[in-house]
Chains A and B, each alone.
Chain A
């Protein structure tokens, strides 16, 4: 089933662990170099920018191949453009297999072909059957197969999206059950995915799929939050169930969804600090930001500028207090930099992000746009970073 040499894949894991150890200054540069040169490896790009570059080149290649084939076969195809899309998917498959045989893994080129193949295939299924249900089924199945065969992380995400899409389609289009249950079914599904993640994660047999499993976990957390988020529920019940919310009225069980909108992120943050799970912590912070956005979207208790000011002050005091508490702790949860953390990286990143946020351009008199509010148009969109 695996398209790559298993030993080489596992060596890749060892090298990335060694890199981590080097960053934490446990092993010397010479040791890392020895590990990286002595173990036989696949062709990979560790650097994300390089990988994205090759991904773009791979997409160019796929589309230029599509273009020339279109020209070659156009006279033969007449009206069979649907078959053509299947043919593109086949080209994607051939390209993917060729790259796998040449040991390209996490390289960018292989990502381009795996994703293009799947895109073409789902497009072909959708075009020929003109229904979304089979597309979701195919996403779920083919995504999973690609994830397993090519050890491809993003395919795991596609598979999860297929699963959720399938369920959504079954309930809203095929009327498997009352639409009212949709939020709760979504939440249960999220718990189900999380349980599967925990099962597979603790089994060393699936170490190779560590990244895919991490993506699955984040997906389950995000799904769990959004299935009970007040804004999502309200907007969906308006568009799917035809509920109209009158002035001063609210959707059924509104208090429940308000509660979950805040309880779930707070639970994520508490549980992640408790179990030292960084990924969950980040999801928790981001979803909490979205919760504030949700509230402000429906209840503009304060004008935007006051909300921003107060939000900034409250956040500052919370963080300030947290830093004071954690500053001198030497074990457990702490503010001391990690052994592996690269402070240079953080400072450079913040410096560059700032150029997107702070607006230093002067304001011309006729322009009534608020000065300095560049990054914050849209009511608290700046809650998330």
Chain B
């Protein structure tokens, strides 16, 4: 432990916040000199899975139409089989509660198997057109498989793949990279699909929470739902039928505001207001351009600092209330 935190702990003891027994316990623990590489090693493992599957994917598609591709495909299939053989052997079976592998390595074996399966399905479609000409069905099929794997092996990583695949099925690319550059902004119908999928995810999460079905998945589901709804509504506000999206914006902000209180989760809180603030500003711009303010544009720029200060004061108040609630739960 660093010298600095030792001094801080001593001060806490002196001021009577931490008892002497606790202090001795802390000292004993410090003497073990534990330096846990848990997080770092798991992250490297994760990275190795991504490198390996990235390599497999590239290899298969570079060798399409060449003689060796059947062999590569067969090897891929064998790899999938090996991954799932070990996973099933070590898994404790399906449970509605959270079940963990004894050795966290198997989480990554499951992940490898799932990514390879998606590659395999995609390839079959590419080469043999098993789903006909409709490519979105591949995504749906991948999503179904990934949902199955995610629920059986209790893997949140595969769950996020499943949700991404489901979004791909309706035509939305869902990655942080695409928040600002998304098909959704040029294709209005996508925002309706996005809305529907987002609401579906929320309904499913509410149902799961009620029925104790993998309750710990709620964070992943809600995060995807929040961003899906956020992007769809913002895109909707920029379109022709924007009035339809105004109540949705208010509803989504309020819903995730409530969720953030329910789970004391700051990320839902912050993002609900980020999307809300962006939405409100879009409406404000719409209003300004609607009343044709070219004559008073200078006045608007002059009073803009007051508007920003006003919103800052509002947000400070909101954050203070949120933190108060969070701290109150600590007690």
Contacts and interface: CB of A to CB of B under 8 A. Distances in A.
* Dominant SS among interface residues on chain B: helix
Interface in B100-146: 103, 105, 111, 115, 118-119, 122-123, 125-126, 135-136, 138-139, 142-143, 146
B7 A207 contact: yes
* Dominant SS among interface residues on chain A: helix
Contacts, number: 316
A331 B33 contact: yes
Interface residues of B, number: 105
A306 B56 CA distance: 8
Interface of A: 13-14, 17-18, 20-21, 24, 26-27, 29-38, 45, 47, 49-50, 53-54, 57-58, 60-61, 64-65, 67-68, 71-72, 109, 202, 204, 207, 210, 273, 276, 278, 281-282, 285, 303-313, 315-316, 318-320, 322-323, 326-327, 330-339, 341, 344, 346-348, 350-352, 354-358, 360-365, 368-376, 382-383, 385
Given A202-B3, A365-B126, A356 B177 contact: yes
Interface string B38-73: 111111111111111111111111100000000000
Given A308-B54, A333-B35, A370 B61 contact: yes
Nearest to A276: B35
A312 B25 CA distance: 42
Contacts of B46: 350, 385
B18 interface: yes
Most chain-A Cβ atoms within 10 A of its Cβ — which of B50, B111, B126? B50
Interface string B181-207: 000000000000000000000000000
20 contacts: A13-B8, A33-B331, A57-B312, A64-B307, A68-B305, A278-B40, A315-B48, A316-B52, A320-B105, A326-B37, A330-B32, A332-B32, A333-B37, A335-B41, A337-B36, A338-B38, A355-B161, A355-B163, A358-B115, A363-B135
Nearest to A322: B41
Most chain-B Cβ atoms within 10 A of its Cβ — which of A38, A72, A338? A338
Given A31-B17, A53-B274, A309-B52, A47 B266 contact: yes
Nearest to A308: B55
Given A14-B8, A358-B50, A360-B165, A54 B312 contact: yes
Contact of B135 (A33, A313, A334, A364): A364
A332 B25 CA distance: 17
A364 B105 CA distance: 34
B327 interface: yes
Interface string B151-170: 00000110111011100100
